[in-house]
């Protein structure tokens, strides 16, 4: 059987038809060639592109391999540090690196990234609104939270949430996050009793002298008695609407960082408070893109 090389014109036609969304078999039928020819051409083009990337960005890829850590040094932080230490070396953009990962062109995979994509949940019907009792002015719905808290220009406005471990386990972690500096504190809780949780949070805030001007929590049963802490501290407690975790977006984001150190499904029984203090320190010391790669400690020092 005689084989002929693809001409440059034929290669261009293949690229155009594939870019238009045609399958390899359909493209082969249109051009009058076998579909395996297109498959081999595509594989060779991909391999050549991968080699070109490795040669062009060899220094950066080696730096990324040596310094990337999904817990404390993300891709964006690696790029930022690489630009500072290798001024004259060509550096790709963040988008380019993520494109390489999606296409499988470098050593990193989606499973090794800091944040993993989750399946979208089915949209439920119309949410029922919680009936608030406004007689006690300490506990209020989030709709009554002052607009100045949204500006994030002063420390002391806290968001509080709980992080659970294994199913049917009483132990949990209470995370406290400052909306302005994104500084996080972690508390080990051995029970889910609302009065126990309230006492743990109050004692921790007093012991560590955490500035408090307002508190925002979700509708978890463990926070039902947190109004007592708010009353002692003489601040307002705001409760989010049901199924609206985005109203505590800062807390949810920081909990995701905690999960880098304590993955889902891991038992929390043997995790001591001293380890949680170390995790909180690592996160607070971590450079954050939102602060121009400054840490929460550096941001806090300005206030």
Q: What is the pLDDT of residues 259-270, one digit of tens each?
A: 999 999 899 999
Joined tokens for residue 223: 């926070």
Q: How many angstroms separate the CA atoms of 79 and 258, rounded? A: 22
Tell me the mean pLDDT in the region 174-180: 96
Q: What is the pLDDT of residues 252-300, one digit of tens each?
A: 999 999 999 999 989 999 999 999 999 999 999 999 999 999 999 999 9
Tell me if the pTM is above 0.75. Answer: no
Q: Give the pLDDT confidence score for residue 32 in this predicted structure.
A: 81
Collect all residues with Cβ–Cβ distance below 8 Å to 239 and sequence separation of at least 6. 130, 132, 139, 140, 141, 142, 216, 217, 218, 219
In the predicted structure, residue 44 carries a pLDDT above the cut 60: yes
Domains (range + CATH), the chain: 8-112 (no CATH), 139-300 (3.30.420.10)
12 CB neighbour count, 10 Å cutoff: 11
Q: Give the pLDDT confidence score for residue 292 in this predicted structure.
A: 93
- Residue 123 has φ and ψ, to the nearest 5°, of -70, 130
In the predicted structure, residue 161 carries a pLDDT above the cut 60: yes
Question: Do the beta carbons of residue 182 and residue 249 sit within 8 Å?
Answer: no
Q: Give the pLDDT confidence score for residue 54 in this predicted structure.
A: 63
Q: Give the pLDDT confidence score for residue 134 in this predicted structure.
A: 46
């Amino acid at each position: 059987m005689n084989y002929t090389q693809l001409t440059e014109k034929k290669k261009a036609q293949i690229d155009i038809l594939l870019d238009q969304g045609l399958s390899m078999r359909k493209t082969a039928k249109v051009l009058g060639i076998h579909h395996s020819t297109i498959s081999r051409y595509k594989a060779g083009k991909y391999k050549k592109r991968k080699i070109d990337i490795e040669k062009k960005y060899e220094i950066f890829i080696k730096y990324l391999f040596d310094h990337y850590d999904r817990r404390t040094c993300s891709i964006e932080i690696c790029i930022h540090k690489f630009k500072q230490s290798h001024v004259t070396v060509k550096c790709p953009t963040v988008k380019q690196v993520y494109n390489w990962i999606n296409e499988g062109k470098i050593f990193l995979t989606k499973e090794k990234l800091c944040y993993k994509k989750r399946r979208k949940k089915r949209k439920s019907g119309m949410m029922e609104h919680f009936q608030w009792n406004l007689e006690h002015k300490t506990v209020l719905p989030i709709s009554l939270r002052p607009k100045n808290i949204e500006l994030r220009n002063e420390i002391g406005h806290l968001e509080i949430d709980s992080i659970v471990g294994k199913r049917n386990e009483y132990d949990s972690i209470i995370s406290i996050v400052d909306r302005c500096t994104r500084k996080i504190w972690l508390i080990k809780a051995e029970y889910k009793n609302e009065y126990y949780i309230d006492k743990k949070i109050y004692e921790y805030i007093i012991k560590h002298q955490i500035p408090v001007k307002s508190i925002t929590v979700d509708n978890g049963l463990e926070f039902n008695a947190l109004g007592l802490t708010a009353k002692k501290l003489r601040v307002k407690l705001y409760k989010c609407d049901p199924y609206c975790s985005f109203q505590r977006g800062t807390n949810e984001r920081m909990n995701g960082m905690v999960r880098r150190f304590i993955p889902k499904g891991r038992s929390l029984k043997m995790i001591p408070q001293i380890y949680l203090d170390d995790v909180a320190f690592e996160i607070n010391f971590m450079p954050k893109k939102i602060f121009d790669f400054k840490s929460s400690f550096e941001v806090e020092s300005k206030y």
